[in-house]
Chain A
Amino acid sequence: MSRSSRRLVSFVAAAAVVSTVAACGGGSDDDGGGGGGGGENEASDIGITEDSIKLGAHYPLTGVAAPGYSEIPTGVDAYFDYVNENGGVNGRQIDYIYRDDAYNPTNTSQVVNQLVLEDEVFAIVGGLGTPTHSAVLDFLNSEGVPDLFVSSGSLLWGEDPEANPYTFGWQTDYESEGKIIGQYIAEEFPDAKVGLFLQDDDFGEDGEKGINQFIEDQVVATVRYTPGNTNVAPQISELQAAGADFVVGFNVPSYTALSQLTALQLGYTPEQWFYSNVGSDPTLVGSLLARFSQGAVSDASLLDGALTTDYLPTVDEPDNPWVQKFQEIWDASGQEGELTNYRIYGMSMAYTTVQALQAAGQNPTRDGIVEAIETAGADWEGPVLAPFRYSEDSHMGTSGMSISRLVGTSSEEVQPIRVTDIGDADIEEFDGEPASPPDSGIPDEDSAVD
């Protein structure tokens, strides 16, 4: 996307906020013929009846990947319940089914078969994981099932809409994240000797590709760990030996904890740690630290001062209007547990889903919702900090991230949102206004299809 068209998008996005806010007063409680404007509700496609929409998802609810990730669907569920209580989408109640794949692609293929062929869902929303979701990518696209807002930052979901026309990414991809981190280091820490601590798969590779666009000459060591192998002492001591004083980690939360504990054992104290968004949830890392160290380290205090990236508001910003709204919705849902960052993630994704369903018109079809996201998705405002990149040529999710420093259990922003894209697209400061939630907590998008 060119620079000028990006400006245009920002302008349109800003204009959309104004109109959304203006529309909120009267637009929230018309549950009959909402966005479509007149006409009757029809059973317009598989999974859609006059008064319901069926959506499905796969998440690890059991097994090693369950801590943290299994909270996401509870957030989604709480938000959909809230929407249903307030009249649903165009008078239709959302029926949300999520099934366990234990983060095993063999299971994913089975449960998605069940969701599509037996439960007959309208769309899959927020299926989690790169290896797991890869297993069903071709199936969903060959069956023509909308595969919305995959919970993974792989480029696979949005890079090539021609090959996978029904699949859409949602969160910032790892390459764009790497680019924003790389530029930040080049500008703020030009003398730092950077060590990269990477997961040995596309996650680490995409991040590395982005970072190296800016600071290839600053990187003194690049080490990779294999998920499952819990001994990272060789990698950490290699960073130490190379004299790296600024460590960037593209790793999952358990390896944030392991890298911290290993560095502590080796007496390695780089001046700055930087963990990518995936690996930096302080609550989860804190509990993992306590578990791995058998109580010797009791909380995330080791992470104090570390840098990380954000594309969503987090629970440590209680003043953020989105967090307040989600807290309200979560408390009202009556489910067990606290509002966590994973639940905010789920609710935010559910918010985007409702926007997509509204934009698909009064009687959504599977092809219609794809068209709606392509035409209108780039203008949607929501909890996600930067706009989405949805168009006919790209199904990539949100384009930008801010950088913040963890202080205790809270965080402070050190660089406001910057937006970019994959490849050699420029990085720009995001000049849009931060969106605030509608009073009702429910979006009100116009139909984007005829």
Chain B
Amino acid sequence: MTDPQTPVGAAGAATDEAPVTATAAANAPSAQAAGGGRSFLPKSTLLRHLVILLLCAVGAVILLEITSPFQNSQLATLSYYAIAAGGLTVLTGLNGQISLGHGALMAVGAYTTALFLQDREASLPLPLILLVSIVVATAVGALVGVAAARLHGPYLAGATLALAVGLPGLALYFDSVLGGEQGLRVRAPQAPEAFDDFIGLVSGNSPTNTKWLAYVGTICLLITYFLLANLVRSRIGRTWRAVRDQDVAAELAGINLGAWRVLAFTVSAAAAGLAGGVLALVVRLAAPSGFTLVLSLSLLTAIVLGGLGSLLGALLGSALLVFLPPFVTDLGADWGLDNTEAAQLAPLVYGVVLIVAMIFAPAGFVGTVRLRWLTYRAKQRMAAARASSGG
């Protein structure tokens, strides 16, 4: 599939430059020190990621057990934002496609989960329900991906924007099945007894439903990031980067651009589907007003702030999304603003943070840190080389 627009003209030139800084975070080798040698982690990518997964799992359990019930619920919220942002960062950071429609794909996952949980007695086991949500969202994502594979930049953004605006409307149209404006209420399944035993064993905290949902979200998050990290390090990830950086060269090398773009969109849609399923469980509702354009846009801002293409960046960006507004609101209330003014402060501060980040750290948090680190290393090597040649 060819794209006649990219090889020539200013647009092509602009995209050549942009990935270098904007997606600096995407090119980071996963977790191990770039130079090798000094790392204690195994050399094999899969083994290394397994070790990191295990460490993160232990860290997550500790984090969930030392935090308050409310912070547990915030972490549950963080988990679904981070899953969706992780999928989006693979699409945007690694493959260079912009999607404004991920909120709608989350809606697909959320409604699927909600529909399967309507009859609490006869419902399928939770992992299976989430799996079905992923499959349905993947199917929708593949469909959109095929349509979008020929599109680029603003055109793709426009097409996915239509998805974000249009899809929640289906819930209003088929209101007998999908609950209309009210949405579908979700009764999250009870925690299994093994969970109660586990919590009793680990910390002795009370195994509330909030905690259970936080664990479900965290487990989904860890699995998603593990799979995405492996994918990014594999031949597939390299091919995506090739398509992003130089599509002409990639095509000459025998890469079918369209097929790889569709694949990236599909993988990303699968993550969004899972995120939607977790959202339905945590929010206890799937309603159109939960999947407005604002959701898609905040996912995009999260990955840009964190660092395009980096899973860690996606996680950090999502954390900002979850923790910044209540923090600012409480700060505003402490300064003596009334509740209404304090609430209005949160979007303002978020906007300011976004603008400041775009001006001073266009590569996002992870990208900026990585660029600084690379510059520092390069200077050191130059100094070392000069010293050895001089002596």
Chain A interface residues (CB < 8 Å from chain B): 61-62, 70, 73-74, 77, 97-100, 103-106, 109-110, 113-114, 117-118, 130-132, 134-139, 142, 154, 199-202, 226-227, 335
User: How distant is B107 from chain A, measured CB to nearest CB, in Å?
Assistant: 11
- The answer to whether B340 touches A135 (Cβ under 8 A) is no
Residues of A within 8 A of B95 (CB): none
Chain B interface residues (CB < 8 Å from chain A): 68-70, 73-74, 77, 169, 172, 175, 180-183, 185, 187, 209-210, 279, 282-285, 287, 289-290, 292, 294-295, 326, 329, 338-340, 343-344, 346-347
Residues of A within 8 A of B343 (CB): 61-62, 99-100
Q: A138-B284, A154-B182, A200-B181 are in contact. List 6 more A-B contacts (CB 8 A).
A: A61-B339, A99-B329, A99-B343, A109-B282, A118-B68, A201-B182
Q: How far is the CA of A226 from the CA of B338 in the complex (A)?
A: 34
User: How distant is A281 from chain B, measured CB to nearest CB, in Å?
Assistant: 19
Q: How far is the CA of A167 from the CA of B39 in the complex (A)?
A: 57
- The answer to whether A110 touches B329 (Cβ under 8 A) is no
Q: Choose among A70, A106, A113, A136 the residue that contacts B210 (Cβ–Cβ < 8 A).
A: A113
Q: How far is the CA of A171 from the CA of B19 in the complex (A)?
A: 56
User: How distant is B294 from chain A, measured CB to nearest CB, in Å?
Assistant: 8
**5 A–B contact pairs at CB < 8 A?**
A61-B344, A105-B287, A109-B283, A135-B183, A139-B284
Residues of B within 8 A of A97 (CB): 339
CB within 8 Å for A61 and B70 given contacts A106-B279, A117-B210, A202-B180: no
Q: Choose among B285, B338, B339 the residue that contacts A135 (Cβ–Cβ < 8 A).
A: B285
User: How distant is B67 from chain A, measured CB to nearest CB, in Å?
Assistant: 11
Q: How far is the CA of A105 from the CA of B284 in the complex (A)?
A: 9
- The answer to whether A226 touches B172 (Cβ under 8 A) is yes
- The answer to whether B284 touches A110 (Cβ under 8 A) is no
Closest 6 pairs between A and B when the two form their complex, measured CB to CB: A100-B343, A117-B70, A118-B70, A201-B181, A135-B285, A61-B343
Q: How far is the CA of A10 from the CA of B172 in the complex (A)?
A: 41
Q: How far is the CA of A199 from the CA of B181 in the complex (A)?
A: 10
Q: Choose among B289, B340, B347 the residue that contacts A74 (Cβ–Cβ < 8 A).
A: B340
- The answer to whether A131 touches B183 (Cβ under 8 A) is yes
User: How distant is B217 from chain A, measured CB to nearest CB, in Å?
Assistant: 13
CB within 8 Å for A200 and B285 given contacts A62-B347, A131-B181: no
Q: How far is the CA of A106 from the CA of B296 in the complex (A)?
A: 13
- The answer to whether A105 touches B339 (Cβ under 8 A) is no
- The answer to whether B340 touches A117 (Cβ under 8 A) is no
Residues of A within 8 A of B339 (CB): 61, 73, 77, 97-100
Residues of A within 8 A of B326 (CB): 110, 114
Look across to chain B and name the residue whose beta carbon is closest to the beta carbon of A113. Answer: B73
- The answer to whether A105 touches B70 (Cβ under 8 A) is no
Residues of A within 8 A of B289 (CB): 103-105, 131-132
Residues of B within 8 A of A134 (CB): 182-183, 185, 285, 287
- The answer to whether B180 touches A105 (Cβ under 8 A) is no
Residues of B within 8 A of A139 (CB): 284
Q: Choose among B68, B77, B290 the residue that contacts A105 (Cβ–Cβ < 8 A).
A: B290
- The answer to whether A200 touches B284 (Cβ under 8 A) is no
Q: How far is the CA of A154 from the CA of B182 in the complex (A)?
A: 10
- The answer to whether B284 touches A131 (Cβ under 8 A) is no
Q: Choose among A77, A104, A227 the residue that contacts B290 (Cβ–Cβ < 8 A).
A: A104
User: How distant is B287 from chain A, measured CB to nearest CB, in Å?
Assistant: 5
- The answer to whether B344 touches A106 (Cβ under 8 A) is no
User: How distant is A4 from chain B, measured CB to nearest CB, in Å?
Assistant: 36
Residues of B within 8 A of A202 (CB): 180-182
Q: How far is the CA of A199 from the CA of B172 in the complex (A)?
A: 11
Look across to chain A and name the residue whose beta carbon is closest to the beta carbon of B185. Answer: A134
Counting chain A CB atoms within 10 Å of each CB, which of B68, B209, B343 scores highest?
Answer: B343
Q: How far is the CA of A196 from the CA of B279 in the complex (A)?
A: 36
Q: How far is the CA of A148 from the CA of B388 in the complex (A)?
A: 77
Residues of B within 8 A of A110 (CB): 73-74, 77, 326
Residues of B within 8 A of A132 (CB): 289
Residues of A within 8 A of B185 (CB): 134-135, 137-138
- The answer to whether B182 touches A117 (Cβ under 8 A) is no
- The answer to whether A138 touches B292 (Cβ under 8 A) is no
User: How distant is A70 from chain B, measured CB to nearest CB, in Å?
Assistant: 6
Q: How far is the CA of A200 from the CA of B181 in the complex (A)?
A: 8
User: How distant is B277 from chain A, measured CB to nearest CB, in Å?
Assistant: 14
Residues of B within 8 A of A73 (CB): 339-340
- The answer to whether B344 touches A113 (Cβ under 8 A) is no
Look across to chain A and name the residue whose beta carbon is closest to the beta carbon of B188. Answer: A138
- The answer to whether B285 touches A131 (Cβ under 8 A) is yes
Q: Choose among B77, B180, B209, B283 the residue that contacts A200 (Cβ–Cβ < 8 A).
A: B180
Residues of B within 8 A of A200 (CB): 172, 175, 180-181
Q: How far is the CA of A199 from the CA of B182 in the complex (A)?
A: 12
- The answer to whether A227 touches B187 (Cβ under 8 A) is no
Residues of B within 8 A of A100 (CB): 329, 339-340, 343-344, 346
- The answer to whether A105 touches B285 (Cβ under 8 A) is yes
CB within 8 Å for A226 and B347 given contacts A131-B181, A134-B183: no
Residues of B within 8 A of A199 (CB): 181
Residues of A within 8 A of B187 (CB): 138
- The answer to whether A130 touches B73 (Cβ under 8 A) is no
User: How distant is B133 from chain A, measured CB to nearest CB, in Å?
Assistant: 17
